[in-house]
Amino acid sequence: MILKGAEFQVPRGSSRIPKAAVIDYGIGNLFSISCSLRKVGVDVDIVSASQRVRDVDAVVLPGVGNFKAGSQNLMAFRQNILGPVGNGVLLFGVCLGMQLLFEKSEESAGIGLGLLKGQVVRLPRQVKTPHMGWNTLRISKPSSFLEGVNEKDYFYFVHSYYGTPSESDIVIAKTDYGLSFPSVVAQDNIYGTQFHPEKSGKLGQRVLANLVAIIKR
């Protein structure tokens, strides 16, 4: 299901081109998320463990796969991520990248970044996993991150686990699949989506454009 429509553009304001570091920690489709970010006007650098994250407006943590492998591979990046984010740089986690923002996961041993309090748990046994395909959001609270998104809009998911924040007020939207799970979170300069915006057509572009607008404020 690909949604048709005009290209979403970043709202007018500052003419400065925002810069993002996409973290290459061995898990995730770097090409797709990088291309999607460039489409909404972001200057993208793919950063490996041997490089420093510096002079960027955002850090992007993609990810597909196992929490343990992701957390192990991310160890080399921890200070490279935590330092800039502690100084106000925006952090955006996608799918497994969102799950790694939390403290731990019942999927396997491993330590997340711990920037969001809570843990990652499995979807109910009675539903088919992974949850793969298009699904909608139920917006829990207003956020500029989801400006222009309606509850009938579809986004693309691929996952078997989901994050459970200790603080419910960081949940921006939920999605129903066997139960209602948090699918969009936001806390200060930290954002996460369980769905893949880079695989979600024009509406995924809209969410990324909203992220750019937040950066450019």
Give the CA-trace dihedral at 48, 51, 53, 54, to 10 degrees: -150
The reply to whether 198 belongs to the active site is yes
Positive or negative, the Cα torsion across 26, 28, 30, 34? negative
- From 7, 95, 103, 107, active-site residue: 95
Strand partners, 158: 132
Helices 30-39, 201-215: inter-axial angle, 10-degree rounding: 70
Note whether 123 and 160 are within 8 A (CB): yes
Q: Which two tokens stand for residue 1?
A: 């299901």
- From 107, 131, 159, 198, active-site residue: 198
Pairing of strands 104-105, 118-122: parallel
The reply to whether 159 belongs to the active site is no
CA distance 170 to 192: 10
CA distance 21 to 160: 27
The reply to whether 95 belongs to the active site is yes
**Residues 78-87, buried b or exposed e (16+ Cβ, 10 A)?**
eebbbebbee
Residues labelled catalytic: 95, 196, 198
